[in-house]
Amino acid sequence: MNKKFFIRTYGCQMNVNDSELVSAILADSGFEKVENIEKADIVLFNSCTVRQHAEDRVIGRITQEGGRKDSDNLPVIGLLGCVAQRIGDKLLKNIDALDFAVGTDQYRKLPALIKEVLQKKKRATLVEQDNKEVYGDIKPLRRQGPNAFVTIMRGCNNFCTYCVVPYVRGRERSRELDKILEEIEIAGQNGFKDVTLLGQNVNSYHYKNQKFADLLNKAADIKTIKRLRFVTSHPKDLSCKVIDTMASKKKICKSIHLPLQSGSDKILDKMNRKYDFSHYRKLIRKLRSAMPQIAITTDVMVGFPGETESDFMYTQHALDSIRFDYSFTFKYSPRKGTKAANFKNQVEEDVRLQRLQKLIDLQNSITHEKYKEKIGDVATVYVEQVSKKDENELSGRTEDNKIAVFPGDKELIGSFVNIKITGATGWTLLGKKIA
């Protein structure tokens, strides 16, 4: 009988897509994917290591799952992804329930490793880095839903001083352009009409002499899809050519996630972000001048080492003046092995928390105002699912990446529907279907 595996994913969209690649690799080797953890012989956790909280959470889940092991040691439990890459060896020594840990470049070896773990009851880690691996030939086994993620590059060369990604995902490398286009085309044929291109820094994509704008141009001409998005952009690499391509191609959604991190030039420099606030502001002006309707979201961090009250005020001013549609706000979390973890003047936890709360309050009020400004507009919604709160309502995403909810029949899932926006609550637009 085929052994069954279950995979739980934590963290970013890259992790979601990695889990789809792992699922494809295992399914190709005869393992069967199940959606119920209790039916699985193999339980995999694919987790993120960007913040300590994420690591703690997955360690808790492994320990909890270990309580279900039977006398045959089933289910066997494996840890994948950035946490496995960073501290897999250590966790294998310290957590009895964990059977193996496999880093981000070793997923092709998973089937053989799992067979060995099952037969010989051995425990192992595979965390060697391979700076050429892009899994370009693997067709992801996608999760259900109308949106597809397509990874265009892996790794990162930027070494922001607070970030572990370059250490756990290795150096930047891009996938073959034709393979990416083929994957998008197939995703569209399979019903995924909304495709998001993924990479830690998509703007530095390059394959031979093709850059990100070339990829966008070609991807936007693929007939099987209707919407194209991308994430994440780095302000130092976002070019005028990409902005012009976004503006000129109807299928490219008029929304962008552009992490600012701080409004203070001193802190941006200490973060090694390689741009200043004035450069960032210019990009925002260019984006809004090319696409007046564009939605802009960002990441902002508070409490980075050395952040004074006046540095923090620059960040508040940045949010106030730019008026992002939404900001993902974080408090700095020191990560072992990064430069910033050794910086002297670390900010006290209570100060970090206070600043975080102030930014959240500020952004919430801006987001609320921006959403209210949409009332009366017509928006096209790609319907994703029945609303979690009301079975007579549907939810989906607008072109500018906002969640919209409206009354409708579930047969509309997977289609594009025009709605008139009638209200806004928190981060959700409310609407009514129009002809």
Residue 16 neighbours by CB under 8 Å, 6+ apart: 9, 143, 149
| One-letter-per-residue 3-state SS of the chain | CCCEEEEEECCCHHHHHHHHHHHHHHHHCCCEECCCHHHCCEEEEEECCCCHHHHHHHHHHHHHHHCCCCCCCCCEEEEEHHHHHHHHHHHHHHCCCCCEEECCCCHHHHHHHHHHHHHHCCCEEECCCCCCCCCCCCCCCCCCCCEEEEECEECCCCCCCCCCHHHHHCCCEECCHHHHHHHHHHHHHCCCCEEEEECCCHHHCEECCEEHHHHHHHHCCCCCCCEEEEECCCCCCCCHHHHHHHHHCCCECCEEECCCECCCHHHHHHCCCCCCHHHHHHHHHHHHHHCCCCEEEEEEEECCCCCCHHHHHHHHHHHHHHCCCEEEEEECCCCCCCCHHHCCCCCCHHHHHHHHHHHHHHHHHHHHHHHHCCCCCEEEEEEEEECCCCCCEEEEEECCCCEEEEECCHHHCCCEEEEEEEEEECCEEEEEECC
Q: Would you say 166 or 423 has its CB closer to ligand SF4?
A: 166
Q: Would you say 229 or 257 has its CB closer to ligand SF4?
A: 257
Q: How far apart, in Å, are the Cα atoms of 208 and each of 82, 183, 185, 198, 244?
A: 28, 19, 21, 19, 22
- Distance CA(193)–CA(184), nearest Å, equals 9
Q: Would you say 158 or 385 has its CB closer to ligand SF4?
A: 158
Query: What's the closest the beta carbon of residue 160 comes to ligand SF4, in angstroms?
Result: 3
Query: What's the closest the beta carbon of residue 410 comes to ligand SF4, in angstroms?
Result: 38
Q: Would you say 159 or 416 has its CB closer to ligand SF4?
A: 159
Of 156-185, binders to ligand SF4 (CB under 6 A) are 156, 158-160, 163, 165-166
Options 78-86, 88-96, 154-162, 324-332: segment touching ligand SF4 (CB under 6 A) = 154-162
- Site membership for ligand SF4, residue 13 (CB under 6 A): no
Q: Would you say 201 or 262 has its CB closer to ligand SF4?
A: 201
Query: What's the closest the beta carbon of residue 156 comes to ligand SF4, in angstroms?
Result: 3
Q: Would you say 158 or 354 has its CB closer to ligand SF4?
A: 158
Q: Would you say 116 or 237 has its CB closer to ligand SF4?
A: 237
Query: What's the closest the beta carbon of residue 336 comes to ligand SF4, in angstroms?
Result: 15
Query: What's the closest the beta carbon of residue 130 comes to ligand SF4, in angstroms?
Result: 18
Q: Would you say 155 or 431 has its CB closer to ligand SF4?
A: 155
- Distance CA(45)–CA(19), nearest Å, equals 9
Tokens 């409004």 belong to 263
Number of residues that bind ligand SF4 (CB under 6 A): 10
Query: What's the closest the beta carbon of residue 343 comes to ligand SF4, in angstroms?
Result: 16
Among 234, 257, 331, 397, binds ligand SF4 (CB under 6 A): 234
Query: What's the closest the beta carbon of residue 256 comes to ligand SF4, in angstroms?
Result: 15
Options 153-161, 204-212, 279-287, 371-379: segment touching ligand SF4 (CB under 6 A) = 153-161
Q: Would you say 200 or 327 has its CB closer to ligand SF4?
A: 200
The pattern of x and - marking residues 179 through 218 that bind ligand SF4 according to CB under 6 A reads: ---------------------xx-----------------
Query: What's the closest the beta carbon of residue 175 comes to ligand SF4, in angstroms?
Result: 17
Query: What's the closest the beta carbon of residue 315 comes to ligand SF4, in angstroms?
Result: 16
Query: What's the closest the beta carbon of residue 318 comes to ligand SF4, in angstroms?
Result: 17
Q: Would you say 19 or 200 has its CB closer to ligand SF4?
A: 200
Interface residues with ligand SF4 (CB under 6 A) are 156, 158-160, 163, 165-166, 200-201, 234
